[in-house]
Amino acid sequence: MKTFKMISFQLDLEGIEVPLIDGITINQENKEKTWILELFIEKQYRELLEKYLDSKEFFDVQVTITSPDNEPAPFTVKVESIEEFEDRISILLKGHLRVVRLKYAEQLLQSLLEKNLSNEELLSEFKKGMRKRTRLKG
């Protein structure tokens, strides 16, 4: 097994960044290529993820591990459990790394070029986008 510090977590479809108190990503290195993600977050985000626990359905997320400079990794996961600790919760997810990974910088640059920004605006928006790593359309 390999363990990685989770830096950021985002729900793919909703494009919602869930602020982490702490998080860990574990590559089980088994034949099924299973990953375990555990998020420690504020209790206010419970409802957002609880619907997936109830439905048992898989959903897509983006996770940045180890360093904020790393490209977000796309996972397809399902909620295994939700545990409460006073005003915080632990969410345990299990799933797989999605195979197709496009380079974030290339996607960001392409989306900004389509906006016909000035050179200064382009550079500024590119730097901001690389820092925030928000979900890109398409």
Domain shared by 18 and 60, yes or no? yes
Helical packing angle, 119-132 and 104-113, nearest 10°: 140
- Say which range, 42-46, 83-87, 127-131, has the weakest mean pLDDT: 127-131
Domain shared by 89 and 117, yes or no? no
**Tens-digit pLDDT profile for residues 106-129:** 888 888 898 989 999 998 988 888
Domain shared by 112 and 91, yes or no? no
**Tens-digit pLDDT profile for residues 55-65:** 989 999 999 99
pLDDT at 136: 63
Q: Which residue has the higher pLDDT, 130 or 44?
A: 44
Percent of all residues in the chain with a pLDDT value above 90, rounded to a whole number: 53
Total tally of structural domains belonging to the chain: 2
Q: Are 67 and 5 in contact (CB under 8 A)?
A: no
Q: Note down the domain range covering 126.
A: 102-138
